[in-house]
Amino acid sequence: MPLAHRLQRNTYADYVAVEQTSSSKHEFFDGQIYAMAGGSEEHSALAAEVLRALGNAIGDRPCRTHTSDLRIYVEAAGLATFPDGAVICGPLQQHGASPKATALNPLVLVEVTSDSSEEYDTGLKFEHYRSIPTLRDYVVVSHRERRITVHFRDDDEQWHTTVALAGGEVSVSSIAAHLRVDEIYRGSSIQSSS
């Protein structure tokens, strides 16, 4: 296959067409459509535990937790992606050019890392997520050790980071949630770092 053909850029409309006919999920960025790998049982359980804790903290407030079935569109980056979890408060702002269930206004995003996604989740993807005006907290759950990292935006629009290891807890301040590492990793085979 000629190099020029392999590097063919897709439009967002091409991506939408693929998503509407595919049984698997895809991410769109910089004219490329990327098939998303399926997660492991461990990955799924960690994401579910975080969403349970966030949902419990929300209580009766007008916010909802969402699984990886909700697509997030990052307008500043032109990125369409499926984070492992999200919290949206108030009405979901739908991205008009996307299939249904594509939000523009997450308050909290959650990613559980994997061997294939860790560098992206903690690097370039985080840079893109930071450009979402409504985003206040980005929760990253490690697949390597019992560690939860929360990147949060303060009232002056500055980003900060807190980390909790086994036995500790970290706050998701935008919804007054506390994630206890031992509870999130309950039943997990992932060990603490030495």
pTM: 0.91
Range of the domain at 137: 39-184
In a domain, 63, yes or no: yes
In a domain, 19, yes or no: no
* Poorest-pLDDT segment among 14-18, 50-54, 85-89, 146-150: 14-18
In a domain, 174, yes or no: yes
Number of domains in the chain: 1
- On the question of pLDDT at 2 being above 50, the answer is no
In the numeric block, the tokens 């804790």 are attached to 53
- CATH code: domain of residue 75: 3.90.1570.10
Res. 3 pLDDT band, cuts 50 70 90: very low
106/71 Cα distance (integer angstroms): 10
SS3 of the chain: the string is: CCHHHHCCCCCHHHHHHHHHHCCCCEEEECCEEEECCCCCHHHHHHHHHHHHHHHHHHCCCCEEEECCCCEEEECCCCEEECCCEEEEECCCCECCCCCCCEECCCCEEEEECCCCCHHHHHCHHHHHHCCCCCCCEEEEECCCCCEEEEEEECCCCCEEEEEEECCCEEEEHHHCEEEEHHHHCCCCCCCCCC
* Stretch 93-97: mean pLDDT: 92
- On the question of pLDDT at 139 being above 60, the answer is yes
182/60 Cα distance (integer angstroms): 26
In a domain, 146, yes or no: yes
In a domain, 32, yes or no: no
Q: CB count, 10 Å around CB of 87? A: 26
Which amino acid, 18? V
In a domain, 3, yes or no: no
User: Up-side HSE of residue 15: CA atoms within 13 Å toward CB?
Assistant: 25
Strands across the sheet containing 102-103: 32-35, 26-29, 79-81, 71-74, 102-103
Q: What is the per-residue pLDDT across 153-178, written as a single tens digit (0 to 9) for each?
A: 999 999 999 999 999 999 999 999 99
In a domain, 116, yes or no: yes
In a domain, 8, yes or no: no
